[in-house]
Amino acid sequence: MLKEKTFWADTEFFGLLGSPVRKSLSPAMHNSNFKSLGMNAVYTPYEVTAEELPKVVPALGAMRFKGLNVTMPLKQEIIKYLDELDEIASLCNAVNTVYWKDGKLCGSNTDGVGFVHGLKEQGRYDPTGKHCLLFGAGGAARGVAFALCAAGISSITLWGRASGYEKIQKLASDLNSYRVGVCKVQSTEAGDIPNLLKENELIINGTSVGMAPNTDATVFDTSYLESRHMVCDLVYVPHDTKMLREAEARGARTLMGYWMTIWQGAEAFRRWTGGKDPDVEIMTKTMLEHLTRKEG
């Protein structure tokens, strides 16, 4: 609820571009943060396709937008319409956060930073020196891969199906070319899961497999998991995916996808506001309340 003396003409606008976005919990999370901080601001989702971007992007500044999130399938497509990328976005070649700075439209990728923060803070897991098996090579997976290399992970094995193997190879090439950290990167097409799980202790699903409404699917055979594994899912609806439930049943540690969503949102807010700290506690509370309601 805005204060009585709030003028709607002064409202600052933030939003989410992508397709589909109607079920995203980012609007609830960010609007609760704005309210907690007493900001005259609103965050709304917009269904936008790649074909519509040339019309949408030029209108944003004139409509008093201060910041945006970008989700699939626009994380790479949006780049051609931006004036500047920060180092993270340039490395990832994927953008999930857009903001204005000195009259320029800038892009960043807060997915990886958010994931690593959640991995360390809520997962109590330090990736330094570890070996990771990462499924997928989309915008979020790219951000996570670069952030893990920067955090000191020892190696990443990228796994993909034949239909998406070109993206896997491109990500492997990009990671090795930029030489972020001392990370060794390799790719594999439909590799031997039992051996891959023996070789790697940090397991991450960076695909949409398991996302509602297809909640009965897992990206790999979880029966090979052991208690030494740390299993993470970037999917957050449902928050306890089948992969995570089965991993817990086998004694593995797990990290739910909503932590990346919360912490990447917190980092995005800092980009939009020039470094202002968000109310992460209220963002987390709102996220969990809406997840419980959505899945109840």
Q: Which residues are annotated as a binding site?
A: 24-26, 71, 87, 96, 111, 136-140, 234, 236, 257, 264
DSSP designation for 285: H
In the annotated binding site for shikimate, the residues are 24-26, 71, 96, 111, 236, 264
Of residues 23, 75, 184, 294, which has the active-site annotation?
Answer: 75
Q: How far apart are CA 96 and CA 86, in angstroms?
A: 12
Name the residue type at position 73.
Answer: P
Integer Cα distance of 135 and 52 in angstroms: 30
Q: Is the peptide bond before 73 cis (omega within 30 degrees of 0)?
A: yes
| Cα end-to-end span (Å), the chain | 26
**CA-to-CA dists, residue 29 to 32, 43, 110, 175, angstroms:** 5, 9, 16, 32
Active site residue 75: yes
User: What are the phi and psi torsion angles at 69 (to 5°)?
Assistant: -105, 150
Rounded CA-CA distance 85/82 in Å is 7
In the β-sheet with 230-233, what is the strand arrangement from edge to edge? 184-189, 155-160, 131-135, 202-205, 230-233, 253-255
The Cα 291–Cα 286 span in angstroms is 9
Q: What's the distance, CA 73 to chain centroid?
A: 13
Tell me the binding residues for NADP(+).
Answer: 87, 136-140, 234, 257
Contact 202, 257 (CB under 8 A): no
List, as one string, the DSSP characters of 153-192: -SEEEEEE-GGGHHHHHHHHHHHHHHT-TT-EEEEEES--
Catalytic residue positions? Answer: 75
